[in-house]
Every structure is written in structure tokens, then in C-alpha cells.
Amino acid sequence: MIYIYSLKIYLLEIEFFKQKLTVLYTFPDKKTKRVKEIEKFISLTLLLLS
């Protein structure tokens, strides 16, 4: 039960992080490459969790 609860919190955090990434994409700069790497990592993490 606790595990499921913590997983839900984790997924919410990922969702929040993805929104922050979208904001970063809106104002691209030198960090764009890094942002894409992070987004790729998040996609893989979500894929593993589903």
C-alpha cells in the first residue's frame, strides 16, 4: 500500500517535471540538448513503470 502511494507521488513529480521541461522548451537556449536528454530519460522511466 505504501509502495503504491509513493509510486503515485513519484509519477506526479515526473508529471510536474515534464511541465517544467515544456517551459524550458518554450525558451530554448544552450541547455536544450540537456533538456532533450532528460526528457528521453523520463520517457524511458515512464515506459518501465507502465
Domain boundaries, the chain: 2-49
Distance, in Å, from the CA atom of 14 to the CA atom of 42, rounded to the nearest integer, reads 7
Question: Which pairs from 41-48 meet CB under 8 Å and 24+ separation?
Answer: 42/14, 42/17, 42/18, 45/14, 46/11, 46/14
- What's residue 25's pLDDT? 58
Amino acid sitting at position 14:
I
- What's residue 43's pLDDT? 80
- What's residue 48's pLDDT? 79
- What's residue 39's pLDDT? 76
How far is C-alpha 20 from the chain's CA centre? 8
Which pTM was predicted?
Answer: 0.35
- What's residue 18's pLDDT? 75
pLDDT tens-digit map of 8-49:
777 778 777 777 766 665 555 555 666 677 778 878 887 877
Distance, in Å, from the CA atom of 26 to the CA atom of 44, rounded to the nearest integer, reads 22
